[in-house]
Amino acid sequence: MPLVRIDLREGRSPEYRAEIGDIVYGALVDVVGVAANDRFQVIQEHKSHALVADPNYLDISRSDDVVFIHITLNQGRSVKQKQSLYRTIANRLHTRLDMRREDVFIGLIEVAKENWSFGNGEAQYVR
């Protein structure tokens, strides 16, 4: 179960924002085995002053078009899977939306399965 939050500067079309969501979800399915229909995303635009990214941290040249992608999901993926996920997302965003790979910032947060409730006030993964 991933919960994905995508934050970007305002001014993009609804289709552009939807495509980012589609790309991230597709990579999660293809690379780390997220189940079909297991899609929960918040995509939000912000005024330029509300997104701050150092333009050169770790010698990566970021532009004002930086996109923050926060993925919270169950524990258990290998480092290789995580690296492949980051690479796949950045490459697909570049190929399909002409987004600079340098502008793709991804944060991955792993949690135990008991930390999810999908509704009804229940912890569905706890058995």
Q: What is the pLDDT of residue 98?
A: 97
Q: Where are the domains of the chain?
A: 3-115
Is 58 in contact with 95 (CB distance < 8 Å)? no
Instruction: Return all residues near 94 (Cβ < 8 A) that are at least 6 apart.
Output: 100, 101, 104
Q: For position 122, what pLDDT does the model report?
A: 85
Is 14 catalytic? The answer is: no
CA distance 2 to 73: 4
- Give the pLDDT confidence of 90-127 residue by residue, as tens digits: 999 999 999 999 999 999 999 988 888 888 888 888 87
Q: Select which of 2, 25, 28, 104 is catalytic.
A: 2
Q: Of the CATH numbers 3.30.429.10, 2.40.160.20, 3.40.50.11900, 3.90.79.10, which one belongs to the domain with range 3-115?
A: 3.30.429.10
Q: What is the pLDDT of residue 116?
A: 81
d(Cα 127, Cα 55) in Å, to the nearest integer? 46
pLDDT of residue 43: 98
- For residue 118, which phi and psi values (nearest 5 degrees)? -95, 5
pTM of the full structure: 0.92
- In the predicted model, residues of the chain with pLDDT beneath 70 are none
CB 24, CB 41: distance < 8 Å: yes
Query: What are the C-alpha distances in Å from 23 to residues 6, 10, 20, 49, 123?
Result: 11, 19, 5, 26, 28
